[in-house]
Amino acid sequence: MLHPRPRFFSLVLSIALLASGPRPQPAEAQSRPCKDTPPEDCTRTKSLGEDSSGCACFVCNPDGPNRKVVCTTDEVVKKKLRSLANPS
């Protein structure tokens, strides 16, 4: 005979998870609008990656004291920042 307890426990756990609501997004995703303008003194970049919504983040001047994280969805800005990853 099957024990009803494991099924009951699964049902209670499922209800508790559903009742807790949607999972919150990471704080960084909520606080950054992804519309940054790169600083004029940005001479070198390091890519931090791009999310599924097309928001790409870069570190301008990663080795200097004027380091700044820049996030953007603008394709022209992304192309410019990517070109600074390997300055010639």
Reported as a single tens digit per residue, the pLDDT across 27-57 is: 444 455 899 999 999 999 999 999 999 999 9
Q: Which of 6-10, 31-35, 63-67, 68-72 has the highest mean pLDDT?
A: 68-72
The structural domains of the chain, with segments of one domain joined by +, span: 26-83
Listed in sequence order, the residues at least 6 apart from 71 whose beta carbon sits closer than 8 Å to its beta carbon are 32, 34, 35, 36, 55, 56, 57, 58
CA distance 72 to 78: 7
> What is the pLDDT averaged over residues 14-21?
58
